[in-house]
Amino acid sequence: MSAINHKFELAARPVGLPKATDWNFKEEPVRELAENEVAVKILYISLDPAMRGWMNDRRSYIPPVQIGEVMRALALGRILDSRNPKFAAGELVYGPLGVQEYAVTNGRGLTRVDAAAAPLPLYLSALGMPGLTAYFGLLDIGKPQSGETVVISGAAGAVGAVAGQIAHLKGCRVVGIAGGPQKCAYLRELGFDAAIDYKAENVYRTLQQHCPKGLDIFFDNVGGDQLEAALSVLARYGRIIICGAISQYNATLAMKGPANYLSLLVNHGTMTGFVVGDYAPRWGEGLQEMAAWVREGKLKSREHIVEGLEKFPDALLMLFSGENYGKLILKVADA
């Protein structure tokens, strides 16, 4: 191929929020394919809070991105050339392609997508990793029952919004925590029964008002003070699902954990962490059901798209300032 690739490599381990000097923006020719490889032109890149954790050199569920490596990211693109019998030129795929314009890969982890079935950004949102995370986290760990009260932190985000809608579909009363009146209004549009603006309200006191009998399930994307508040109003046999802790990802001091964890003992509760990769063998099951909900208008999704690969460093920071509305996606090229 004669194409020129532009990419972002990790240049340094961030301390606190990532800054411009933590990245190297590089240009290089796209190399020729070896046997069983494919070349993908990237169209959309998913920007996710988990990316911040991948930059840290510490033990986690996945090895950290190494200094000098292309920043890890899920992305969706079109195959330009293939020497892999499993894939053909012209097919649309998504997978771990990185923050770059072109990716050369052996095809491992790539999944075909159908542009006729849904808009392409949806495959990085409700019909992608965020949707699967919400689906399996809520249903397999939370096991919601009709009539229960479910509270979602980070409820206006890509995972939280889907988790709340699924809880509503299962007959639960759903309370969302989000930042600002616009995001709280969005939650009500999605069918949430109540919304708490953590920027303007006392989360603990407001949770007591909305959960007079306690909360049965807390789907946590935020951690910190919001997790602390949820533990304080946990119902008997309540379940806490640890999906993320975005309030702690850029902390320069020790991570803040719950001081009142004995609520789990008193209320016979559970707190379980997970990553969506745990459910990889069952992804097809989740996508099939969620795709049906989307077709039926029962599951809605909002994507916040920023255009231009060069916008990556600034766009990533939107996740931690709360500037994005819905799933944050970087558009690299037209389909």
Evaluate whether 94 touches 123 at the Cβ level (below 8 Å).
Answer: yes
Q: Are 9 and 313 in contact (CB under 8 A)?
A: no
Q: What is the mean pLDDT of residues 8-14?
A: 96
Q: In whole angstroms, give the CA distance from residue 328 to residue 335.
A: 18
- Tell the residue number behind the tokens 């309370």, with chain if given: 175
pLDDT at 213: 96
Contacts of 14-18 with C-beta under 8 Å, sequence gap 24+, read 14/52, 14/55, 14/56, 14/250, 15/252, 16/250, 16/251, 16/252, 17/250, 17/317, 17/320, 18/52, 18/55, 18/313, 18/316, 18/317
Q: How far is CA 298 from CA 173, 219, 284, in A?
A: 16, 20, 19
Q: Where are the CATH 3.40.50.720 domain residues in the chain? A: 129-277
Which CATH superfamily is 129-277 part of?
A: NAD(P)-binding Rossmann-like Domain (3.40.50.720)
The answer on pLDDT for 322 being more than 90 is no
Q: Rounded mean pLDDT of the chain?
A: 95
pLDDT given for residue 171 in this prediction: 98
Confidence of residue 254 (pLDDT cuts 50, 70, 90): confident
What does the pLDDT look like over 81-102, one tens digit per residue? 999 999 999 999 999 999 999 9
Residue 133 is predicted with a pLDDT of 97
Position 253 pLDDT exceeds 80: no
pLDDT (tens digit, 9 = 90+) per residue, 174-217? 999 999 999 999 999 999 999 999 999 999 999 999 999 999 99
In this prediction, residue 218 carries a pLDDT of 98
- Using one digit for the tens of pLDDT, what is the confidence trace for 114-152? 999 899 999 999 999 999 999 999 999 999 999 999 999
Q: How far apart are CA 187 and CA 148, in angstroms?
A: 18
What residue spans in the chain does CATH classification 3.90.180.10 cover? 4-125+301-331
Residue 325 has pLDDT above 90, yes or no: no
pLDDT of residue 1: 64
What ranges make up the beta strands (E) of 97-233? 102-105, 111-112, 149-153, 173-178, 194-197, 215-220
Q: Give the CATH superfamily of 4-125+301-331.
A: Medium-chain alcohol dehydrogenases, catalytic domain (3.90.180.10)
- 94 neighbors 50 (Cβ within 8 angstroms): no
End-to-end CA distance of the chain: 19
Question: According to the model, what pLDDT value does residue 24 have?
Answer: 97
Q: What is the mean pLDDT of residues 221-228?
A: 94
**Residues 166/138, Cβ–Cβ less than 8 Å:** yes
8 A C-beta contact, residue 137 and residue 163:
yes
Residues of the chain above pLDDT 90, percent: 88
